[in-house]
């Protein structure tokens, strides 16, 4: 069985009081999150997630709303949970430096003394497939800020294929990546298509038939996008995700 919890479904600006986009997945191989933004730890605590079970994080890209909570997570695991087993952080090239800068700014003395557990890094192949936490993860370069090194991800296990767009504008390669997957969590930041680096309700209405997936979920939404998506939800053939939504999938 696979359980997917939406820890956050807002865009970068916590629209309408929602958390930064972040997803928690529990399956036969264990527990991981996709990204870990500033509100992720808060949401884990609110929902009673036991982070002792957390094996690692899959990072879609190096923007604050997706990695900003990692410094707090590391000190939480170290001080509160007294973690000793390794934490795997899988993500794009360059993440070590960016995460070190984040930790250096947030908790320099903890960085100096060191954590009670090792961090093991795994790098995406863009494009390509790597093994991370006993799952096959296929990544493509997303249409987003170049310096964020953004990826769209497909996670395959024997039980399930689950995809995460990360932050991205439309590209045909996204439809290829998600084809025949069971679950696709797709960003939909905007109501209308006026920015190349994010998806919108307007574009998804045009491209919807290209997305051959079991169930489409929309997330990473502004208030305007959420309202527009609700108005067109039948044509979008999508579930509009909200913070705290939990779905389970059994094959
Ligand atoms: Zn974002």
pLDDT digits (tens, 9 = 90+) for 185-212: 999 999 999 999 999 999 999 999 999 9
The 3-state DSSP composition of the chain as helix, strand, coil percent (nearest 5) reads 30, 30, 35
pLDDT computed for residue 251 by the predictor: 73
Which residues lie below 8 Å from residue 234, measured CB to CB, with a gap of 6+? none
Residue 245 has pLDDT above 80, yes or no: yes
Q: Tens digits of per-residue pLDDT, 4-37?
A: 999 999 999 999 999 999 999 999 999 999 999 9
Residue 105 CA to ligand 1 centre (angstroms): 21
Q: Is 75:172 a contact under the CB 8 Å cutoff?
A: no
| Alpha helices per DSSP H over the chain | 40-47, 64-67, 70-75, 95-106, 108-113, 172-178, 201-207, 223-231, 233-236
Of the candidates 7, 4, 84, the one whose C-alpha atom is nearest the C-alpha of residue 45 is 7
Residues with CB under 5 A from ligand 1 (ion): 12, 65, 167
Q: Alpha-carbon distance 191 to 225, whole Å?
A: 4
Ligand 1 centroid, distance to 169 Cα (angstroms): 12
CB neighbour class for 53 (10 Å; exposed up to 12, middle 13-18, buried from 19)? exposed
* Among the listed residues 98, 102, 30, the one whose alpha carbon sits nearest the alpha carbon of residue 72: 102
Instruction: Give the domain range for residue 205.
Output: 2-249
How far is ligand 1, taken at its centre, from the CA of residue 121, in Å? 22
Give 234 Cα–ligand 1 centroid separation in angstroms.
Answer: 25
Ligand 1 centroid to 63 CA: how many Å? 7
If pLDDT is split at 50, 70 and 90, which confidence band does 104 have? Answer: very high
Q: What is the pLDDT of residue 110?
A: 85
Q: What is the CATH number of the domain that holds 200?
A: 3.60.15.10
According to the 3-state scheme, what is the secondary structure of 145-193?
CHHHCCEEEEEECCCCEEEECCCCCCCHHHHHHHCCCCEEEEECCECCC
pLDDT tens-digit readout, 164-190:
999 999 999 999 999 999 999 999 999
pLDDT at 112: 83
Centroid of ligand 1 to alpha carbon of 82 (angstroms): 30
**What pLDDT does residue 158 have?**
93
Q: How far apart are CA 170 and CA 168, in angstroms?
A: 6
Ligand 1 centroid to Cα of residue 20, in Å, is 7
- The encoded tokens of residue 65 equal 């709303």
- If one counts the domains in the chain, the total is 1
Summarised one tens digit per residue, pLDDT across range 110-152 is 888 899 999 999 999 999 999 999 999 999 999 999 999 999 9
pLDDT band at 247 (very low <50, low <70, confident <90, very high): very high
Predicted local confidence at residue 111, as pLDDT: 80
């Amino acid at each position: 069985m696979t359980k997917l919890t939406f820890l956050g479904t807002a865009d970068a600006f916590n629209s309408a009081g929602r958390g930064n986009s972040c997803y928690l997945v529990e399956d036969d191989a264990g527990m991981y999150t996709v990204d870990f933004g500033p509100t992720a730890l808060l949401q884990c605590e609110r929902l009673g997630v036991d982070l002792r079970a957390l094996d690692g994080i899959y990072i879609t890209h190096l923007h604050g709303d997706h990695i900003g909570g990692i410094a707090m997570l590391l000190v939480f695991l170290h001080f509160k949970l007294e973690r000793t087993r390794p934490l795997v952080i899988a993500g794009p090239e360059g993440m070590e430096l960016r995460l070190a800068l984040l930790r250096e700014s947030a908790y320099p003395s903890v960085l100096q003394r060191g954590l009670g557990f090792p961090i093991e890094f795994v790098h995406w192949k863009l494009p390509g497939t790597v093994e991370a936490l006993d799952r096959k993860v296929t990544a493509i370069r997303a249409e987003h800020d170049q310096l964020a090194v953004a990826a769209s991800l497909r996670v395959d296990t024997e039980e399930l294929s689950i995809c995460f767009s990360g932050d991205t504008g439309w590209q045909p390669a996204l439809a290829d990546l998600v084809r025949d997957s069971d679950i696709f969590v797709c960003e939909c930041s905007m109501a209308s298509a006026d920015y190349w680096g994010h998806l919108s309700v307007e574009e998804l209405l045009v491209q919807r038939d290209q997305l051959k997936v079991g169930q489409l979920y929309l997330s990473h939404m502004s208030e305007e996008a959420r309202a527009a998506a609700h108005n067109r939800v039948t044509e979008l053939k999508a579930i509009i995700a909200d913070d705290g939504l939990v779905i389970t999938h059994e094959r």
